Amino acid sequence: MTAAQDAAVVAPALDPEELVDRIEAGHRLTAAEAVAVLDAPDAETFRLVAAASRLRERHFGRTVKVNYLVSLKTGLCPEDCTYCSQRLGTEAQILKYTWLKPDEAVRQAGLGIAGGASRVCMVASGTGPTDRDVDRVTEMIGRLKDEHPQVEVCACLGKLKDGQAERLKAAGVDAYNHNLNTAESHYESICTSHTYADRVDTVERATAAGLSSCSGLIAGMGETHAQLAEAVLALRELDSDSIPVNFLMPFDGTPLAGHVQLTPLECLRILAVVRLACPDKELRIAGGREMHLRSLQAVGLQVANSIFLGDYLTSEGQDAEADLRMIADAGFTVLGAAAAPADDDGAPDGGCCGGGGCGEGGVEDASTRGGTSPSPSPAPRRRGAGTAEPANA
């Protein structure tokens, strides 16, 4: 039976604590159970989060892994992904620039590392790298590892061809990101310029080369709960080491502009179902958390053990200092970080606000942070890589 067929079965009655007991004893979440979690009423969501948090703490304790994105090349992509502000023909008012110089790429990465990031994600727009692009990236990675030998580096360059994953591995890349994004049964609704199978192929190439695989999804693109369950279980079958969960950022100028189907409690249930399906995998709250989780971001950390610090590829995130304060206020510690000195109000010293450059995070209309807006729009990134403005790190 396929995941989609399994999800069509009537969902069982949901007892979160009993379900976690069985998962701890070796049970693998079924598609029907995944749909039951996603269908759970709002009033049961915090009970569900509390149960799933047992798995998070068993495997990751009270630590949060901090990741930092560096957009090496932004915009100008020939793919037609409906959710993406960098897509072919986009009218989104985003930054557009070609490859950063190696020195600038390393400098930008260093800012995130100084802010507490233990992994830097080096990302470039486009279908996939040429061999010359791989040369360019391996030079950057070599310099970065020379300056920061302790940092993990994840590359995200698109579809890989023969030998490219092996070259990245030899250069010191630790992980490779290529998201499945959605269920196979939903894929043609969001992209026609490449296939779901193409994405699976790249993840498998990275794994075969000895790179840690990083692959996740984007929720809120018109998929059903059955399709969300299908996508989550497909990621489990890929045995992805880290799973970033993005929530659609409906940029003006893209086909999904103004599309909003998620609530903060729905987002918590999505995070919970990933933890229940993949109890020992790094679960990262990624793009869109400020817009969709809003005041419940810290609650998301009860099941997720990883976040991005600061800004994303084309949109601004929550201020980096606020991210670190949120982690501490929720009783977590940053993975690999020494205890930070606190200022008078208990916040760690540092952050980008000390040097200027902080802006409002995530959503142009601040009213969407406290309630539901019919058409929130992400705030395009105007600082950091590709600009003369200080990074949010």
The response to whether 358 counts as a known ligand-binding position is no
The response to whether 156 counts as a known ligand-binding position is no
Question: Both tokens of residue 92?
Answer: 């989104």
The Cα angle at residue 176 between residues 4 and 293, in degrees rounded to 5: 60
The response to whether 77 counts as a known ligand-binding position is yes
Whole-angstrom Cα distance, residue 86 to residue 90? 6
Judging by DSSP bridges, how do beta strands 282-285 and 212-214 pair with one another? unpaired
Whole-angstrom Cα distance, residue 364 to residue 301? 24
Report CA-CA distances (Å) from 169 to 4, 152, 178, 303: 35, 12, 15, 30
Residue (of 18, 66, 32, 125) closest to 324 by Cα position:
66
The Cα angle at residue 153 between residues 168 and 132, in degrees rounded to 5: 35
Return phi, psi of residue 17, to 5°.
-65, -45
The response to whether 353 counts as a known ligand-binding position is no
The response to whether 84 counts as a known ligand-binding position is yes
Name the amino acid, one letter, at 302.
Q
Report CA-CA distances (Å) from 364 to 2, 71, 290, 306, 315: 41, 21, 11, 25, 10
The DSSP letter of residue 94 is -
Whole-angstrom Cα distance, residue 295 to residue 276? 23
Annotated binding-site positions: 77, 81, 84, 121, 154, 214, 284
Annotated binding-site positions for [4Fe-4S] cluster: 77, 81, 84
Annotated binding-site positions for [2Fe-2S] cluster: 121, 154, 214, 284
